[in-house]
């Protein structure tokens, strides 16, 4: 509606302008010619020539004004289309004069606007990819260094830079250790920088960004680390939040690149701030989880202290389970989780009443349900802490049997988590060689024979074989537990 109103306005102005410029002067000239020129001097030839001249000028003026108005109307329609979002539209430059120059300038503006929008869209896509990769890293069971490496790779791809390194400040604040890097030589990946030394140390101490180049090198080249010397063109940004520096991110420019755009620098600074927040949150989360684990461990110790026959049981089971996992050449992260789960595997016994826990004979009528429920009780205690959720299946299933006759879910074979199968062997062996009120203590050899007898029925055969091999190679293992 507005477009047609604009065109109508231009058309009306054209009528008024043409009338003012040609029709009114023509009529006035004709009147003066007829009224004031002497009839003697006036003849029909002169009148004809005068009329023809006025007609030619009027016609020429009409078409001249018409061409200008048509060009303006088309430019108006093109501008309206561009304003409506059609950035592929361009104004017609095949006109004369200033309108053509105006159209060319307008097209240049539109082209730059289109390029800016394309760049923003590309940046948006890259940032979404970056955030997606980082979120995936957080969702997986990976340590902070792996998450930082994903973050760093995505950042370098986003900005078109080449080399990057992230240093984190040690808990005592004395040094910065390289925790993640991309594009660095192998010999530089173990770099440690003292607080206040070199560029990285200075940035960590003062919390200020530093840029270096071949024309503007660091003032104390003798204090630079080999890593800093390998990046003559670089940006060093503090990872700072809550008035505390958590580390430093160093970004090296690509070969031949001599500067970083203001937009990319702003992106790097913003992402560095977000990374600092991530470090702070991770430290807070780790602290809270450590406190929780210490509390739960203290409770587990308290549970064992309630029964003199089970004191030290979890610690011994943990040592056995870790030995089995290491001999099976399982990943370090797996071994760490198994170690934590083994320490806490009987935490569910907190809910077992003393008259059942200390019972030396047959279980009372309500005793069996408490005993069978303790793996699930342990799971429920650990579940509220997100990072300990991965330990829950191990704790829940450490009393399953390989033949499917265990509890609480009667899983069988490889349906049982491997860590739970390992824990079952270690737990049962320690129970056999330990003094308990309801059974006699077995010797190491008797316990080993029982493990071999139940191989494939109660226990995973491979786990049993690995553990028996360890016990045979270490004559003192399994004996110190009963001393």
- Domain limits, the chain: 2-86, 140-271, 307-482
Q: Which of 224-238, 400-414, 461-475 has the lowest mean pLDDT?
A: 224-238
What does the block give as tokens for 477?
Answer: 């293992």
Instruction: Pick the most confident of 44-48, 134-138, 364-368, 414-418.
Output: 414-418
Of the two residues 372 and 305, the one the predictor is more confident about is 372
pLDDT for 127: 63
Segment 216-228 shows an average pLDDT of: 72
Instruction: Looking at the structure, give the CATH architecture of the domain made up of residues 140-271.
Output: 2-Layer Sandwich (3.30)
Q: Give the per-residue pLDDT at 470.
A: 94
User: What mean pLDDT do residues 53-80 have?
Assistant: 67
- DSSP for residue 442: P
**pLDDT over threshold 70, residue 129:** no
Q: pLDDT of 377-390, one tens digit each?
A: 989 988 887 667 88
For the segment 186-200, what is each residue's pLDDT rounded down to a tens digit? 888 788 888 888 888
User: For residues 7 and 77, what is the distance between their CA atoms, to the nearest angstrom?
Assistant: 9
Report yes or no: 198 and 224 within 8 Å, Cβ to Cβ. yes
Taking the model in full, what pTM does it have? 0.52
Rounded to an integer, the average pLDDT of 256-266 is: 68
| Topology adopted by domain 307-482 | Hypothetical protein af1432 (1.10.3210)
Share above pLDDT 90 across residues of the chain, in percent, rounded to a whole number: 19
Distances (CA, A) of 188 to 75, 192, 228: 61, 9, 10
Q: Structure tokens of 393?
A: 């299946």
Q: What is the mean pLDDT of residues 341-363?
A: 77
pLDDT of residue 42: 53
Token pair recorded at residue 150: 């994903």
Could you report the per-residue pLDDT of 280-320, keeping only the tens digit for each? Answer: 777 777 777 777 767 767 766 776 676 655 667 888 899 99
Specify whether the CB–CB gap between 425 and 398 falls below 8 A.
no
């Amino acid at each position: 509606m507005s477009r047609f109103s604009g065109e109508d306005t231009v058309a009306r102005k054209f009528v008024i302008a043409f009338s003012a410029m040609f029709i009114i002067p023509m009529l006035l000239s004709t009147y003066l010619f007829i009224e004031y020129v002497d009839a003697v001097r006036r003849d029909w030839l002169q009148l004809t020539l005068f009329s023809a001249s006025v007609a030619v000028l009027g016609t020429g003026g009409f078409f001249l004004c018409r061409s200008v108005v048509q060009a303006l109307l088309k430019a108006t329609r093109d501008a309206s289309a561009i304003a409506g979002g059609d950035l592929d539209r361009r104004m017609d430059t095949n006109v004369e004069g200033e309108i053509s120059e105006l159209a060319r300038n307008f097209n240049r503006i539109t082209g730059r606007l289109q390029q800016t929008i394309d760049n923003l869209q590309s940046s948006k896509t890259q940032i979404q990819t970056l955030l997606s990769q980082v979120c995936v890293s957080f969702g997986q069971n990976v340590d902070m260094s792996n998450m930082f490496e994903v973050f760093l790779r995505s950042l370098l791809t986003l900005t078109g830079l080449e080399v990057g390194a992230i240093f984190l400040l040690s808990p005592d604040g004395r040094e910065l250790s390289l925790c993640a890097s991309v594009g660095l030589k192998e010999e530089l990946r173990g770099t440690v920088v003292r607080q206040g030394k070199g560029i990285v140390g200075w940035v960590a101490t003062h919390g200020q960004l530093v840029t270096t180049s071949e024309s503007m090198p660091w003032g104390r080249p003798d204090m630079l680390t080999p890593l800093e010397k390998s990046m003559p063109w670089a940006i060093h940004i503090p990872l700072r939040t809550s008035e505390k520096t958590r580390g430093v991110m160093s970004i090296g420019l690509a070969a031949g690149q001599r500067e970083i755009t203001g937009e990319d620098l702003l992106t790097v600074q913003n992402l560095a701030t977000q990374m600092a927040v991530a470090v702070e949150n991770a430290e807070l989360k780790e602290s809270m989880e450590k406190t929780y684990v210490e509390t739960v461990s203290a409770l587990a110790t308290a549970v064992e202290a309630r029964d003199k026959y089970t004191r030290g049981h979890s610690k011994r089971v943990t040592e056995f389970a870790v030995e089995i996992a290491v001999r099976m050449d399982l990943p370090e992260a797996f071994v760490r989780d198994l170690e934590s789960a083994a320490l806490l595997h009987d935490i569910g016994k907190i809910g077992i009443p003393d008259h059942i826990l200390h019972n030396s004979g047959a279980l009372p009528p309500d005793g069996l349900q408490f005993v069978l429920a303790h793996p699930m009780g342990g799971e429920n205690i650990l579940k509220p802490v997100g990072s300990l959720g991965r330990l829950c299946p191990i704790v829940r299933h450490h009393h399953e049997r390989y033949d499917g006759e265990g509890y609480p879910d009667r899983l069988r074979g490889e349906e049982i988590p491997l860590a739970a199968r390992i824990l079952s062997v270690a737990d049962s062996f320690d129970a056999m060689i330990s003094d308990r009120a309801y059974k006699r203590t077995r010797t190491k050899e008797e316990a080993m024979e029982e493990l071999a007898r139940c191989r494939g029925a109660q226990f995973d055969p491979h786990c049993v074989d690995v553990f028996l091999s360890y016990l045979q190679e270490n004559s003192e293992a399994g004996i110190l537990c009963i001393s």
